[in-house]
Structure 1
Amino acid sequence: MKLVAVTSCPTGIAHTYMAAEALEQAAKDAGHEIHVETQGAAGAEALDPADIARADAVIFAADVDVRDKDRFAGKPLVSGPVKRGINHAADMVAEAVAQAEAAPAGPAAAAAPAAPAGPRLGPGGKLRLWLMTGVSYMLPFVAAGGILIALAFVIGGAEIANVVNGGEFQGTTYEAITDPTQILGQAGIAGLMFAIGGLAFSMLVPILAGFIAFGMADRMGIAPGVVGGLIAVNVGAGFLGGLAAGLIAGAIVMALKLIKANQAFAGIMRIVIIPLVGVFAVGFIMLVLIGQPIADAQAWLTDWLAGLSGVNAVLLGVILGAMMGFDLGGPVNKVAYLFGVGALASGDFTVMAAVMAAGMVPPLGLALASVVRPKLFTQAERQSGKAAWLLGAFFITEGAIPFAAADPLRVIPSTMVGGAVAGAVSMAFGASLRAPHGGIWVIPLIGDPGGFIVALLAGTVATGLCAVALKTAWKSKAAQAVDDSALVTI
């Protein structure tokens, strides 16, 4: 059989490429030919149209909306979440082959209806898909803007914002810079980095809202979603408002697309009518109906975060850390991460430090366990452990996935315990972080770096000890099957 596949995940870093590799290996093992398009963070190198034309079936392993799905119309389709592509690639390949064999051939095939555009999901699954699509497009703005702002503070000091926004800096009172050409001359490179990072960071909510709507209603949802997100920012509704604006915009555009226009008006509907009505309707709802209540809720959440101290702060660290270690880059992990980003945008920098420490711990802890007690791990897991050191150091939680896929009942509790320990210790020390990503590269930007490193070490050791204890007390079949000859090669 000739197969084609598309893999994608919210971050487009690890899951996307791991699923692609698993599908390629599964197809090769089964004697089939496959070409995979990875719609990841580095962009997508599109499948050759000739390969699509020759394909007997299509596989989607995706947690976000697959781009340009129309290319695959009429082909038998198997679809599922990206983790299924990683953990059960052989099953997806077998299902695709079965569907291809059952598909009509010849003239009947040409008359066959187009394949479904994606996985058949319930309301909860669709909501998750839409939200993860928005998160996927937002994350580059988070990383670029947040790290630029953090570097600006490192170079220019904590008061560099006063040069750009107005206030006192190094004994001089500055007016807010209204002419962007003055920034470099008046504030130097640090001020320029702060201004650019601030602009990138200001786009988080509009991009989130725009691409949630895109996930729901395709390209026509972007304009109403972005406008709704901008209104959410202007009225102080923040991330909660952005989520609401994106969902409302998507729903409105989906409803408008149901209106059947004759051929003469079809083009106008898509280019003028739907964007016009969509933008006005979303703007009206956000400004008049729900914007202010959401803004009040956002303000309450910000005040609650700012008021956390002592036991309450540590408890928050435990909860967020456990969430970071639960599904290792999946939806629960992303909720905790976005909570940290939201706190960052609100001026609370301790939550982001706890979230990053907890997210670095799972791969580091499992890498440590595979070195301390190699006999408890298969040869493949020990090889994954070598890469996990680097992935964990760079805050790529997905580096723990090979371990969790092979032994979830022992590994996931271990990563949750380690994440909870790291989050709690970080919050107890009051470590703070102005950058939303970066791993070891942004440690110089951390307030109380010693406390952060202690949290990281404590979480790593806790993960490793828990994994070793669970695997020792309750050995998996895979670990029991490791032969002595493989151990000699360590």
Structure 2
Amino acid sequence: MKIVAVTSCPTGIAHTYMAAEALQMAAKELGHEIRVETQGSVGAENVITEEDLRQADAVIIAADTNVDKSRFTGLPVIEASVSEAIKDPKTLINKALNAKPKADLMQEVSRIKAEEKESRKGLYKHLMTGVSYMIPFVVAGGILIALGFAFGGIYVYENVGSFGEIIFSTGKLAFSLMVPVLAGYIAYSISDRPGLVPGFVGGALADKLGAGFIGALLAGLIAGYTVAFLKKYIKLPKSMQGLMPVLVLPVLSTLIMGLVMVLVLGGPVKSINDAMSAWLNNLQGSSAVLLGIVLGYMMAFDMGGPINKAAYAFGTATIAAGQPTPIMAAVMAAGIVPPLGLALATVIAKDKFTAAEIEAGKAGWVLGLSFITEGAIPFAAADPFRVIPSIMAGSAVTGALSMLFGCALAVPHGGIWVLFIPNVVTNLFFYILSIAIGTVVTALVLSILKKPVENSLPL
């Protein structure tokens, strides 16, 4: 049997490719042929062709973001999260092969939208679609801003036309687009392409009015559902249907979006945003440490899942114009620790890990240093009740120490590799110390909790 599949996670880095690999291995074991298109951070790879679709017996969409399903008309399609594909790919494959083809695509799309409306997972998908498109802008902008400071000094923006200022300005522009992009693609996830215009405009207004990240989230949701409402209730003659996507929907939805943001939401959300910023800026002592602990727990608990992504989105929202923030520092440090701690545990307690786990630990060093928390998933899947508490303990300690030491970070990704760019991190030594201590805590806790295994390597 021939299967085609699409995998996509919000960040497009780890889960996307882990799900693809799991499906490929399971299909091979079951004796089926599969082609998996990965929609990752670098765009679509191994793209499904027309010939693949003609030969396909079933379709699997393992995604936590919005995926266009229009090309799969007439084929049996099943949908799942990327974590389901990683944990139980064989079940998904069998389910897909036993599914019935979709007789009416429009009816199926309507059914899916109705289910999403009633499901929290649907709302989560819309938000994560926006976040997945936003992250490259945040990462590119943040790192270019830092490089601008590195080449041109702390007052680089005063030397207009210099090499450093050009890099700085380019990064600042990329960074400033994160709010409109977030809103635009949340709206896109809800109502497809007609949602882009009101979504982007709503996000731009949120940025202009000072409503920031929270305003963009609300703008994206309002824009998306406004377009969906207009599409449902505005009926034009067939001869005028072509005006709906290019004239009626963009104009009406954007007008509504502008009125809502300026007259209703802008002021109150700005007040909330300002209050939150003031609270974060005034965090000291025990309050800062407590927030660091909570962020650490969240980053480690599901290793790239919705709780992890919520903490990460919170961290990126605190970055303004590339200035270092303690929240982002705690978030990235806590996300680095789980794979590092597990890798260290495989070194200091080899008798408690299988040969395969020790090999996975070697990759854990690179994944952890690169801020890919998902590197802990193979260990957690094999022994969740010992691994998850261990990594949560290490990440919580790291988050708390990072906040206590007053560390701050100006970029939202890159792991250890970006820390040595000038002006990227505040209190570099203590930041690295926080990560090191959390790594050791995770390794020691897990070494104590785990029991020796029979097929382990000798110490």
Tell me the TM-score normalized by structure 2: 0.94
What does residue range 88-237 of structure 1 map to in structure 2 within 5 Å?
88-99=88-99, 103=100, 112-114=103-105, 116-117=108-109, 120-121=115-116, 122-161=118-157, 163=158, 183-184=160-161, 188-237=162-211
- The CA deviation at 1:261 is 2.5
Per-residue deviation at 1:377?
2.2
Kindly state the Cα deviation for residue 157 of structure 1 after the two structures are TM-superposed: 2.5
Give secondary structure in 2 for the equivalent of 1:66.
coil
2:342–2:376 CA contact under 8 A, matched in 1: yes
Per the TM alignment, residue 155 of structure 1 is displaced from its structure 2 partner at its CA by 2.6
1:450 aligns with 2:450: no
Shift of residue 387 of structure 1?
1.0
User: 1:61-95 CA distances to partner (integer Å, 9 max, x unpaired)?
Assistant: 1000113x111122112211110011111111121
The 1-side partners of 2:260 and 2:442 are apart by 47
CA deviation profile, 1:128-162 (whole Å, cap 9, x unmatched): 0000000000000010000111122233232324x
Match of 1:256 in 2: 230
User: Which letter maps to 1:414?
Assistant: S
In structure 2, the residue corresponding to 1:44 is in which secondary structure? strand
SS of the residue corresponding to residue 79 of structure 2 reads strand
Matched position secondary structure for 2:12: coil
- Of 449, 456, 471, the residue aligned with 2:450 is 471
AA matched with 2:455: D
Q: Are 2:390 and 1:418 equivalent residues in the alignment?
A: no
Quick check: 1:373 aligned with 2:349?
Answer: yes
State how far apart, in whole Å, the 1-side matches of 2:3 and 2:302 are: 29
Separation in structure 2 between the aligned mates of residue 471 and residue 98 of structure 1, nearest angstrom: 40
Q: What's the counterpart of residue 59 of structure 1? A: 60
Aligned-residue offset at 1:257: 1.5
1:116 Cα shift? Answer: 4.0
1:337 aligns with 2:338: no
Determine which structure has more spread, i.e. the larger CA radius of gyration: 1
Unaligned runs of 5+ in 1: 104-108, 165-182, 473-478
**Deviations, residues 376-434 of structure 1 (Å, cap 9, x unaligned):** 22333222211111011111111111112222222221221111111111111111111
**RMSD between superposed Cα atoms in Å:** 1.8
- Answer yes or no: is the 8 Å Cα contact 1:77–1:116 preserved in 2: no
2:269 is paired with a residue whose SS is: helix
Per the TM alignment, residue 375 of structure 1 is displaced from its structure 2 partner at its CA by 2.7
Contact 1:227–1:283 (Cα < 8 Å) also in 2: yes
| Residues 8 and 63, structure 1, Cα contact 8 Å, conserved in 2 | yes
- Partner Cα separation in structure 2 for residue 18 and residue 377 of structure 1: 21
Q: Alpha-carbon deviation of 1:210? A: 0.1
Residues 266-305 of structure 1 show CA distances to partners (whole Å, capped at 9, x for unaligned) of 1101111100001110111000011110000000000000
What displacement does 1:221 show? 0.5
1:176 matched residue in structure 2: none
Rounded to whole Å, the distance in 1 between the matches of 2:226 and 2:338 is 41
Contact 2:319 2:410 in 1 (8 A): yes
Matched to 2:383, the amino acid is D
Distance in 1 between residues matched to 2:148 and 2:319, nearest whole Å: 15
| Corresponding pairs, count | 448
- Structure 1 residues 120-129 or 31-40, which shifts more? 120-129
| Letter aligned with residue 155 of structure 1 | F
Structure 2 contact 214–273 (Cα < 8 Å) conserved = yes
Correspondence for 1:23: 23
SS of 1:345's equivalent in the other structure is coil
What's the counterpart of residue 171 of structure 1? Answer: none
Q: CA deviation at 1:56?
A: 1.1
Contact 1:365 1:418 in 2 (8 A): yes
Structure 1 window deviating more from structure 2 (394-403 vs 208-217): it is 394-403
- Contact kept, 8 Å, 1:395 with 1:439, in 2: the verdict is yes
Q: CA deviation at 1:338?
A: 1.6
Looking at structure 1, the residues matched to 288 and 153 of structure 2 have their Cα atoms a distance apart, in angstroms, of 27
Secondary structure (helix, strand or coil) at the match of 1:36 reads strand
Task: Report % sequence identity.
Answer: 50
User: How far apart are 1:348 and its partner, in Å?
Assistant: 5.7
TM-score, reference length from structure 1: 0.88
Q: CA deviation at 1:260?
A: 3.1
Q: Is the 8 A contact 1:432 1:448 kept in 2?
A: yes
